[in-house]
């Protein structure tokens, strides 16, 4: 497993965990994080 896969797995784990985990690690709610991802992909 390379570092990119480790990073993706870490983000997935945080995102799928408790709401507070996303807020603590990303300083934003899951809704805002998802919106940011969509904006960055376009």
Q: Cα separation of 1 and 34, whole Å?
A: 25
The parent domain of residue 37 ranges over: 3-41
Length of the chain counted residue by residue? 42
Q: Is the entire prediction scored with pTM above 0.85?
A: no
In the prediction, which pLDDT does 6 show? 85
pLDDT at 36: 94
What pLDDT is attached to residue 15? Answer: 87
Number of separate domains in the chain? 1
- Rounded Cα–Cα distance for residues 30 and 1 (Å): 26
Residue 1's pLDDT is 52
Residues 6+ apart with CB under 8 A from 22: 14, 15, 28, 29, 30, 33
Q: pLDDT per residue over 1-42, tens digit each?
A: 556 668 888 888 898 988 899 999 999 999 999 999 999 998
33, 26 in Cβ contact below 8 A? yes
């Amino acid at each position: 497993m390379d570092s990119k896969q480790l990073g993706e797995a870490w983000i997935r784990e945080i995102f799928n965990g408790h709401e507070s985990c996303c807020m603590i690690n990303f300083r934003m709610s899951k809704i805002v994080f998802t919106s940011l991802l969509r904006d960055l992909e376009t």
